[in-house]
Structure 1
Amino acid sequence: MKFGEAFTEYLKAHQERFLEDCSHVEYKRLKKVLKCCRKCRDLKDSYEVDNGEGDALSPRCQCESCPVCDQKFFSELAKEASDIAGCFSSRVRHLLNLHEHKIQRFITFVRQCFQSPQQATEQECRMLIEYVIMNALAIRKILKKYDKVHSSDNGRKFKSKMLSKHIEVLQSPWLIELGAFYINFSNSNGGRSDEPLNPFSCDLSTTEPKMTLMLPGMVKLEYNLTCPICLELVFKPYALGCGHLFCKSCACAAASVMIFEGPKAACSGSKCSVCREVGVYCNAVHMIELSLLLKKQCKEYWKERAAEERAEISRQTKMYWDVQSKYMIGY
């Protein structure tokens, strides 16, 4: 089955129960835009060959300045990708909040009649993961088709723009948090994190600890769990607005703020230590589920890092109040 047919079936199957309030890639409409471009290209190539201006075996394309694609294709796709990323992060936050607040979980249970909270949560996780994978694949397929039609690399360049604008959903820190939550949830309910229905797995035994998302076609997407500052497994991880993961203490040190203040206390001009992007601390995400997963699987390491952090917090707190006392007294 071609991907276009599979994507259409997916939308029909989930439209009522899940996708009613969620954005998705308008795959068919974007294909029609490309089909129109292909016809224009073929007409132009045919004209050039008939007039001796081109070679039928090596068609030339108007890809670099295609008004149809510039105005419709990329603008629509950028909006759809942004809406998908926003919808996904909102749904994941909502799911994690429901899981943390038992009263809300009970209300959800009543609304869902006789469906157990465990089944509802597991179903929501799977649908969110499938939502991300299907839409991400749709974007990749349509961009690949764009480059094929126009014999260009504009589709690849658009992928880079998506990363720079933080609308590439497969690189969202909320996807890592959802994966950690799903693994934690499966283990807590007697399941296994490596069961066939769970596309996420976590390997912390190697020198490069990572979380893996298995995509269709046996394609693996790996997320490095090493802090780029201390070069160890992230401890109480935070993801900055650019998506890079850091230990809480390392992120605070890089932004010149106290650990007890947290990364969000950093000034607006603070830069990411990896990509040097400005203003990424205000949107930092505390990776609670990932932290819980790492704490369970690396108990000794976690105890050691926790003791070191407590000592550092005590030192910073004492230094802070010493400075405040001197300021208040005047010497």
Structure 2
Amino acid sequence: MKFTKKYATYMRGMEAELPAVGLKRLKKMLKKCRSDSDHRSHLQDAAASPAGGRCPGHCSVCDGSFFPSLLNEMSVVVGCFNEKAKKLLELHLATGFKKYTMWFTNKGDNSHGKLIQQGKDLVTYAIINAVAMRKILKKYDKA
């Protein structure tokens, strides 16, 4: 199974609705960019095209839509991760009266085992999104 399918399966299997990186859409952008540059290189003389089918210098697709889109998606993912990690840390590190009020306001969602599992899930979420980021940037380098 390819990584994109594994990533989509993982994100569907998450209990909470967490933001994800749109790998398919980003790959389509890169494919369009590559096909546009291939089309341009066929129109020009093969000897005059040093890029060899790659994006020449400043590509409107890469610079104008791919990177801003990737930045927006990863900003949302990182923001979600930070928010959830902050909440877990507040629950875990709370002391005294604050600890009791937090434990009672969350209605039993924070037993020790559940907190540990949420932490593990959060780490897995961060790792899989980091791998997704590396994969899509590797795809960009190939294009």
| TM more than 0.5 | yes
1:140-151 residue pairs with structure 2 within 5 A? Answer: 140-149=134-143
Residues 102 and 54 of structure 1, relative CA distance in 2, 3 Å threshold: farther
Note the 1:93-104 alignment, pairs <5 A. 93-99=86-92, 100=94, 101-104=99-102
Which structure has the highest helix share of the two? 2
Per-residue CA distance 1:111-146 (angstroms, 9 max, x = gap): x4xxx7122112211111011111111111101100
Q: How does 1:36-55 map to 2 (within 5 A)?
A: 36-48=32-44, 52-54=45-47
1:223 is aligned to: none
Q: Distance in 2 between matches of 1:65 and 1:11?
A: 33
Write out the 4+ residue segments of structure 1 that deviate beyond 6 Å after TM superposition. none
Give the Cα–Cα distance (whole angstroms) in 1 for the partners of residues 124 and 8 of structure 2.
14
Does residue 124 (structure 1) correspond to residue 118 (structure 2)? The answer is yes
What secondary structure, in the 3-state scheme, does the structure 2 residue paired with 1:65 have? Answer: coil
Indicate yes or no: 2:5 matched with 1:9: no
Deviations 1:46-72 (A, max 9, x none): 333xxx43389x824234211112111
Q: Measure, in 2, the Cα distance between the counterparts of 1:120 and 1:63.
A: 51
**RMSD (CA atoms):** 2.2
Q: Please give the alpha-carbon distance, in whole angstroms, between the structure 1 residues aligned to 2:101 and 2:57.
A: 56
Residue 63 to residue 119, structure 1, CA distance change in 2 (3 Å): farther
Q: Give the CA deviation at 1:41.
A: 2.1
2:11 maps to amino acid? L
Larger radius of gyration: 1
Q: Which runs of 5+ in 2 are unaligned?
A: none
**Separation in 1 of the partners of 2:142 and 2:28?**
15
Identify the structure with bigger relative contact order (alpha carbons < 8 Å, sequence gap 6+).
Answer: 2
Residue 62 of structure 2 corresponds to 69
1:150-190 superposed Cα distances (whole Å, 9 cap, x missing partner): xxxxxxxxxxxxxxxxxxxxxxxxxxxxxxxxxxxxxxxxx
TM-score, scaled relative to structure 2:
0.83
Unaligned runs of 5+ in 1: 150-331
Query: Which amino acid in the other structure matches residue 7 of structure 2?
Result: F
Equivalent-residue separation in structure 1 for 2:56 and 2:11 (angstroms): 31
**Residue 138 of structure 1, aligned match among 128, 132, 139:** 132
* Aligned 8 A contact 2:34 2:54 in 1: no
Cα distance change, pair 6–55 in 1 and its aligned pair in 2 (3 A): farther
One-letter identity of the residue aligned with 1:26: G
1:88–1:132: 8 Å Cα contact kept in structure 2?
yes
Query: How far off is 1:109 after superposition?
Result: 4.4
**CA shift at 1:94, angstroms?**
0.6
Letter in 2 for 1:77: L
Separation of aligned partners in 2, 1:70 and 1:6: 28
SS of match in other structure, 1:133: helix
Q: Secondary structure at the match of 2:46?
A: coil
1:90 maps onto 2:83 in alignment: yes
Contact map agreement 2:7 2:128 (CA 8 A) in 1: yes
The number of residue pairs the alignment matches comes to 137
Q: Distance in 2 between matches of 1:66 and 1:4?
A: 25
